[in-house]
Structure 1
Amino acid sequence: MSNRQPNAFHRAFPAREFFRGSARSVLFWSLVNGLLLILLLVDLFLIIDLLDHRGRITLHGEQNVKQLQELRTAPVSLPEGNEQEETVPGPENVQAEAKSSEPKSVPQPEAPPSTEMPQLQMVSLTDSGILPSVWWTHSKYQIGLLPQLYQRVPLLQENQSALFTLICFALVVASIRVLIRWRSRQKSLKISHQVSMTLRNMIHRQALRLGPGDLSGKETEQAFQLFIRDVGTVQQGVFQWVYGLSRHPVTLLILLLFAVSIDWRLSLQCMIPLVAAWYFLLQHRKNYEKEQAKTLVSIESELSLLAENLRSSRLVRGFGMETAEHEQFQKHLEKYTDNIATLKRVEGWGHRVARGLAVFCSCMVLFLVGYKVLVNPGSLPLSAAVLMTGIFAFFYLPVNGLYQLIQTHDESNIAASSIYRYLNQIPAVGQAVGAKFLEPLSQALQFENVSFQLNSHSLPLLKGFDLKIPAGTSTALVSLEKLAPRAVSYLIPRFIEPQSGRVLLDGEDTAWVTLESLRAEAIYVSGNDPCLTGTVKENIQCGDERYSLQEVIAASKEAHAHQFIQNLSQGYETSLGQHGEELTVGECFRLGLARALLRKPALLIIEEPEDLLDEDTKTLLDDAYSRIFQNRTILVIPSRITTLRRVNQVVLIHEGKVEAVDSQSSLLKKSALYRHWEYTRFNQFRHSQETSNER
């Protein structure tokens, strides 16, 4: 069963958000951009038609002449020199011949001057600007917008001024479209940023709920990857989804409608091979991706085998297998070479198929459009044919954009599914209804038959664990299983919950006390934790302004942190974290001790750093421990032998149970298991080996 949630991406960005706020603004500006695209296409048609006809138009028939008269009743008329009489005599010539045949004695009344165009049967005009385009569109669509524009804009009535005007108009429209696309892009980025911030806030809150119980650190790493990588994928997906889905369909629809408006039959004829070619191209792309993935797996396998042979050089030379090994190596090398060649053939074949389909579609469109122009040039001028060809070629961009949008959606959906699976996890620890306030520990800390297991696939870390620690004593927890002492420590402040059993503080079950009072009295300090982002003072206060600077300094002195803090560039106001100063492991650990000591807990749990500490830090810690261990209950997960010698008792945990409880010196004598643990942790050869490895 797939873990992928089918609607995870739409859960992060629901479809209804398209019609709200910034997304609605993006949709509106995309529609405006589509209208500007129509104007740009019309303008390109006029430019191409002007370059084709050069302002020349010839009309035959009295009806066409009358219609031309209607187009030319503009306040600014064409120059009279543009009117040319042809071989077919006009009405004025006929009238002149009639005058010569009448008797001269009969005077003829003078005709009043007329502004009407002579009723010619054929008229030819030159240098008429976009008049040929106006005539063709008016005859085809019977729409008066372009004729009115021609009549009211004198610059369109001559060739040179019309060309200059149309080019300037195209530049203006194209510039406005660029600005609108930039605005839509910024709005889309804003929407994706808002979605990413929402997801990151949710992950942050969930990490605070789940993080304290992360014994192995895997959940913290998962939250980090979700926060950085998966949210970034969803953010990019939302941006592409808003920006692309509001742009590509509008562009595709406008191009299609414009082509259909020129000639719907020809558009349908051209769309058939285009759709068929695109379908076959998609099928080929899917098969190509499968074949490519299979070939890449084979290449990786053969490469691993070739590298594996490098590790067996001692056996080969020792048993005289050079010839056989070389033959085997050559065999795998040939397979590797064949797989590389196969991959190249697959890629080359894919490119050839794509190019072949593109050439085929181009030839089909050119043939259909060219045939239409040759057979019936009056119904489809060359300029319209060129524009239709360009439109069909431009179809590739929005169609390919929609295809890539589907792929982006799938990737974003997978990332969103991982995020929501993490967000849907229920924290194991919660505060009980009616929980009581916990008083400071004064008698004993007790574990009763506690069991804990990380997951169903791992062995139990604790199994029937029983332990009683008197208040005011110091105890070290050790085990061959690294996570077992940490699990015991995490149970006390309820970072994790036992699957069975109870943890008691002075006889009170920790499951029935408030988390705030429990974690105020049982504070966990880990030497592996990083510093918080903020100043040194803020790191120690943890946002609690009730503690004054004097109290912060006092706690720092008790943990031997005051001296190195004063040596920082700005003392207690020095910024720490990713963009601030970096502290050493020992300094960060002492800062954590100061943070805990400021709150004066009755129970202090210390996990010492795993990294090696310098001698000065060890000395300072030993001196700090001599004060910290007084008058409070201490649990420590040691990484230094001196800490083991300092505590009152050492608890040895084995297979989830208490194996032995005694002082370090007594266990060293009585317990072989403890001697083995101490040897593996503290013998000088181990430290020498670690030092050489670090070097």
Structure 2
Amino acid sequence: MSKVPPPHVPPTRQLATAHLMKRLLRTYVRPYWGRFAAAIFMMLIGAGATAALAKLIQPVLDEVFVQRNATLLYPIGIAVFVTFVAKALSAYGEAVLINTTGQKIIGDIQKELFRHLMKADLAFFQAHPTGTLIARFTTDIALLRYAVASSLTGFGKDILSLIFLIGVMVHQDPWLSLIALVVFPSAFYPIGRLARRMRKVSGNTQAETGQFMTMLEQVFQGVRHVKAYAMEEYEAQRADKLIDRLRSLIARAGRVRSIASPIMEMMGGLAIVTVIVYGGAQVVEGTRTPGSFFSFITAVLLAYEPAKRLANLNVILQEGMAAADRVFALLDEQARITSHPGASELRVSAGEIRFQDVTFQYATQPRPALADFSLTIAPGSKVALVGASGSGKTTALNLIPRFFDVASGTITIDGQDIRTVAIDSLRANIGLVSQEVSLFDDTVRANIAYGRPSASLEEIILAAKRAAAHEFIERLPQGYDTPVGEMGDKLSGGQRQRIAIARAMLKNAPILLLDEATSALDTESERLVQSALSDLMRGRTTLVIAHRLSTIMDADLIYVLQDGQVAEQGTHASLMAQGGLYARLQKAEAQAT
């Protein structure tokens, strides 16, 4: 068994935290300022209640316990209880407001990201593994959600609590406050350095998570081939390496994250010891009452927790900012294939398709897939593209609905350059049936109606009948309401293909693109579907790609492609008479069967 290569982790950009926070606040937080104002009001109540508790310690000790003033016992007790009630209610209100608003913000980001990806080019999805994109919606969004909730709470509740408690401390003893406030901030410098490390580790962790999700998706979807080639152990080794790398990164992140608390514990302990020694000496000397001293100590102890949370907040925030950077990187990738401003609607009158000197090259390929490629598909005709694998057949088909754009040359429909018309109108006039059947985890009815969700059941049934699918659909447990499973895995290959053909029939577009549309059908189903397709193609412009040449012998015109150019053209009979490339392909197919 060959050594499993380490996964490739693409580099991630790192925008400044201030830039990312500004974008979050301006774009996503601003619409909810009213809710945040209410949350801040709750935080003010909670912070004031916390400071009041520290202040109430002084009369409890000095007036009740030292002076034994019984008349103040109940009023102070009631005041303490009211303070706790105010603190509890404000904490609940603030938590609900922050949580629901944070969820709304994250939901807005997810919705915008999904809509943005739906407008992305096909090349974008070829360049970004599915698992990486899913990781943006799951792990990255989870980190961002936690960071948003923590930062909103921290910068609101914890800072307000510190301000109120510092006010109590300064009121009790300005000099003692200065001692405590000098020690605490000294912990923020090393924690700030930890935060920068945390962002880098978090970026690497999420990149590895995307790789791991991609591997899982590929293996689970291709499990049939994994077993057929006895590659279980190979895939297990790949998973082992990815899991070990991910575990190592998560452990490193945990170590970095955990260092902040010990630093704050030590610095907090130093501050409290200093206060106890200095303040205790004042109590012993009689220059300070026990109540004022313990009130000050209470304020310091109460301030310790929000100070520690604020110190940890920068570490959490950097994790969230690394996630935000990756999410925004996707949002910032603009689609290259778009409708130009003021683009006109495509008007299909006859349905002529013309390629004129078209050149196209994939970014990952060393030579053009099509070079100075020209051909004409007459209105209402059935034209077939044939040729060896890699000759450019599928590329030519994909250029018509603008899945990709030509590098040079033009493609026109009824004289209209497809780059000058609105993409929606272009694709509305094109029906596509591919050898790669895409069914969604929904009902048979929903899959046939995909593209025409408003279609009636009668129209759906008619389309299914014309695709030779109605009979097997009727035999399904719930008929047209039967779920087809993920990628249609509850159906056979031929059944999936017939549903895809029914979908194209329901769309009823004037231009039809068939890419090995009957490749997965048995002989009987193919006969039925070919008859249905013949009916569908009548009066429509149809481009057919077929590896089985027997399926396109009745084509009005056949183009034979080789190395991205038209090598031969003619009818089946004329091409066979030429004895060229097409005839050799026919002979090879006959020998193979």
C-alpha separation between the residues in 2 aligned to 1:544 and 1:267? 71
Q: 1:263 aligns with which of 154, 157, 173?
A: 173
Q: CA deviation at 1:279?
A: 4.3
C-alpha separation between the residues in 2 aligned to 1:540 and 1:388? 73
C-alpha separation between the residues in 2 aligned to 1:292 and 1:437? 50
Q: CA deviation at 1:232?
A: 4.1
Does 2:499 align with 1:600? Answer: no
Deviations 1:479-498 (A, max 9, x none): 5449x544322221233321
SS at match of 2:126: coil
Amino acid at match of 1:560: A
Structure 2 contact 184–267 (Cα < 8 Å) conserved: no
> How much identity, in percent, do the aligned residues show?
20
C-alpha separation between the residues in 2 aligned to 1:478 and 1:374? 100
Amino acid at match of 1:466: S
Q: CA deviation at 1:169?
A: 5.3
Q: 2:406 aligns with which of 498, 504, 517?
A: 498
Deviations 1:613-660 (A, max 9, x none): 5x75x6424431232045244434557787577867765655443455
C-alpha separation between the residues in 2 aligned to 1:182 and 1:485? 64
Deviations 1:499-532 (A, max 9, x none): 2111133444333445455333321233545435
After the TM superposition, which residues 111-150 of structure 1 pair with which residues of structure 2 at under 5 Å, given as runs?
127-129=68-70
Count, aligned residues: 522
Distance 1:509 1:386, change over 3 A: same
Rg comparison, structure with higher value:
1
Structure 1 contact 211–220 (Cα < 8 Å) conserved: no
SS at match of 1:186: helix
C-alpha separation between the residues in 2 aligned to 1:357 and 1:517? 66
Does 2:433 align with 1:548? Answer: no
Q: 2:106 aligns with which of 161, 180, 196?
A: 196
Structure 2 contact 353–412 (Cα < 8 Å) conserved: yes
SS at match of 1:246: helix
Larger mean Cα displacement after TM superposition, 486-495 or 659-668? 659-668
Amino acid at match of 2:462: A
Partner of 2:34: 21
Partner of 1:624: 529
Partner of 2:217: none
Structure 1 contact 36–177 (Cα < 8 Å) conserved: yes
Amino acid at match of 2:69: S
Gaps of 5+ in 2: 1-11, 206-247
Does 2:46 align with 1:33? Answer: yes
Q: 2:337 aligns with which of 398, 410, 428?
A: 428
Deviations 1:57-107 (A, max 9, x none): 3xxxxxxxxxxxxxxxxxxxxxxxxxxxxxxxxxxxxxxxxxxxxxxxxxx
Structure 2 contact 99–149 (Cα < 8 Å) conserved: yes
Amino acid at match of 1:4: L
Q: CA deviation at 1:264?
A: 1.1
Structure 1 contact 585–609 (Cα < 8 Å) conserved: no
Structure 1 contact 270–368 (Cα < 8 Å) conserved: no
Partner of 1:275: 185
Structure 2 contact 179–271 (Cα < 8 Å) conserved: no
C-alpha separation between the residues in 2 aligned to 1:257 and 1:172? 21
C-alpha separation between the residues in 2 aligned to 1:432 and 1:523? 25
Q: CA deviation at 1:272?
A: 2.3
Amino acid at match of 1:207: L
Partner of 1:12: 24
Q: CA deviation at 1:358?
A: 5.1
Q: CA deviation at 1:563?
A: 2.6
C-alpha separation between the residues in 1 aligned to 2:274 and 2:546? 80
After the TM superposition, which residues 462-477 of structure 1 pair with which residues of structure 2 at under 5 Å, given as runs?
462-470=370-378, 471-476=380-385
C-alpha separation between the residues in 1 aligned to 2:178 and 2:508? 83
Structure 1 contact 215–487 (Cα < 8 Å) conserved: no
Structure 1 contact 273–364 (Cα < 8 Å) conserved: no
Q: 1:439 aligns with which of 341, 348, 359?
A: 348
SS at match of 1:210: coil
TM-score, structure 1 length as denominator?
Answer: 0.63
C-alpha separation between the residues in 1 aligned to 2:525 and 2:509? 21
Does 2:231 align with 1:218? Answer: no
TM-score, structure 2 length as denominator?
Answer: 0.72
Gaps of 5+ in 1: 58-126, 130-153, 297-338, 685-695
After the TM superposition, which residues 1-80 of structure 1 pair with which residues of structure 2 at under 5 Å, given as runs?
4=15, 7-14=19-26, 17=30, 20-47=33-60, 49=61, 55-57=65-67
C-alpha separation between the residues in 1 aligned to 2:199 and 2:146? 25
Aligned-residue Cα RMSD (Å) equals: 4.7
Distance 1:378 1:362, change over 3 A: closer
SS at match of 1:369: helix
SS at match of 1:524: strand
Amino acid at match of 1:174: F
C-alpha separation between the residues in 2 aligned to 1:577 and 1:4? 41
Deviations 1:210-250 (A, max 9, x none): 24565737387665444444444433333223222211110
After the TM superposition, which residues 580-591 of structure 1 pair with which residues of structure 2 at under 5 Å, given as runs?
583=491, 586-591=494-499
Distance 1:217 1:169, change over 3 A: same
